[in-house]
Amino acid sequence: MAPGHNQQSDKSEGEETVLERRHLLRAAAATAVGSAFAGSALAQNAGLADPAGTTPPPRDWGEPIVPYPDPAFEIFDPRAKKYSPGTAPVRRLFTGATWTEGPVYFGDQHSVIFSDIPNNRMLRYDEITGETTLFRSPSNNSNGNTRDRQGRLVTCEHGARRVTRTEYTGAITVLADNFGGKRFNSPNGVIVKSDNTIWFTDPAYGIMGDHEGTRAKEELPHNVYMIDPRAGTIQIVADDFDQPNGLCFSPDEKLLYITDTGKPVIRVFDCSDDNKLTNGRLFHDYKGTGLSDDIRSDEDGNIWSAGGWAGANFNGVSVYAPDGTPIARIVLPETAGNLCFGGMGHNHSYLYITAGQSLYMYPVHTRGVEL
């Protein structure tokens, strides 16, 4: 199917010395790496290997006391120093799920809603009480979530193979469940552009087995789609992916980043005012070592990537500068699947991360640009 095809649709002194030595070594390493990367072009950095990093010291995640700056935030390039809060820890807010995904922040509810795909439910973390409660069950094996520009919840559902919107009343509206009369595979990641168009990926993970959905035959290629609610149309915007997964726009919405967990790579496209994608190119190549699941952009155009599957030092969130340089990493004890910015009274400067069985939070010195 060619892009553009439309379809109508609905303390001890010793301990202090060790910590100081570790921070000095990290700072020296960051300076050295930063000097080597400075001025590099995106084309050169797309294939730049992710730093091996170091293993943070063991931590009892039920105990909030950690040394500052938190050693779980690793800096590989001087440009990332500004994003380290210095006086805040990476916090595990909840654990007890099977595979968490799709966090979305609702400031008006002081909460983060996220998916637990295999358990066929959605959960809600309350940032005031610190409690996590059931939001929706069953959830049709929901995966990615976001908010539209009117504040309504938009959800990708593996089990029902569709994209839905939750109205203010709680009613569910189906935004898309087929293309050309053929069912989607398992809508995965979703974002909403400022013009109210809804963009989502459709890999096969939800129908490859019975763990995250229901085993079924594929009816469509693994495309990236755009829903235009005003025109009532669904359009293929990219059709050359193996397993398209996460996606996000740059702050000015002139670039669209899409992860491919089948390759695995992150690609970037130019996006025109009329929502045509051109000049697709490589942003980052994982060369078979780890992958990027879902991504978000901050106000400086950095890409924050949830991922893992390449050893303990790589699990968590990798941060890439606009030129593709790996500049930092938040190391977590679990593989990360997704992330979002939010934070009550903090102007979307808290990073919420769904990883493995848990939900994490880290306040970073930058603001997210997407809901």
Q: β-strands 132-136, 121-126: how paired?
A: antiparallel
pLDDT-flagged residues of the chain (< 50):
1-40
Write 105-109 long-range contacts (CB < 8 A, 24+): 105/340, 105/341, 105/342, 105/343, 105/348, 105/352, 105/371, 106/147, 106/151, 107/342, 107/344, 108/151
pLDDT of amino acid 39: 42
Alpha carbon 364 to its chain centroid, in Å, reads: 15
pLDDT of amino acid 8: 43
pLDDT of amino acid 289: 85
pLDDT of amino acid 309: 92
pLDDT of amino acid 371: 66
pLDDT of amino acid 346: 82
- Residue pair 297/339 in contact by the 8 Å Cβ criterion: no
What's the pTM? 0.86
Q: CA–CA separation, 250 vs 301, rounded Å?
A: 6
* Number of neighbours of residue 180 by Cβ within 10 angstroms: 12
Domains annotated for the chain, with CATH where assigned, are 6-363 (2.120.10.30)
pLDDT of amino acid 132: 98
pLDDT of amino acid 323: 96
Which two three-digit tokens encode residue 227? 């829903």
Q: β-strands 198-201, 190-192: how paired?
A: antiparallel
